[in-house]
Amino acid sequence: MGPVNWMAVFVAALAALGVAGLWYGPLFGRAKLEAVGPGGMAARTSTARTAVVTVLLLLLTAAMMGHMFARVGTETLAVKPWLYFMMSGGLALFFVIPALALSYLHQRIATRLGVIDGGYWLVAYLAMGLVFWILG
């Protein structure tokens, strides 16, 4: 196993935050607000607490992704750069999104909201893979 690229870990978490800003702002912010209603889910927790937890969990996710890429090794990734996207996108498509879908199904949350949130995770994970590729 090679060393974890910690700079890429932090930049990848920032990239996922940037995607969230666009995704839940100008792209799908209005649609999400329509799905949860005014005050909806936002009324449950404070904005500052949500921001801190989001940053910490994205850092944890990026660190685990960094370990995954370090395990594969820089030599292999240099020869097969598509693995960055296959692995990061695969995590989103086959682990995160199904877990989210099951959770939303049990909570009876609207399918539209699930598609919006699932799309975010796919794009965010692919953005993190892009960062690891660029900084690899």
Query: Burial, 20: exposed, middle or buried (Cβ in 10 Å; 0-12, 13-18, 19+)?
Result: middle
Residue 75: its pLDDT value, please?
94
Number of domains in the chain: 1
Structural tokens at position 76 = 């292999």
pLDDT tens track for 91-102: 999 999 999 999
Please tell me the pTM assigned to this model. Answer: 0.90
User: Does residue 31 form part of some domain?
Assistant: yes
User: Does residue 48 form part of some domain?
Assistant: yes
pLDDT tens track for 28-70: 988 887 777 766 555 555 678 888 999 999 999 999 999 999 9
Say how far apart CA 33 and CA 43 lie, in whole Å.
12
Place of tokens 């500052």: 48
User: Does residue 1 form part of some domain?
Assistant: no
Percent of the chain predicted with pLDDT > 70: 93
Residue 17 is part of which domain span?
6-135
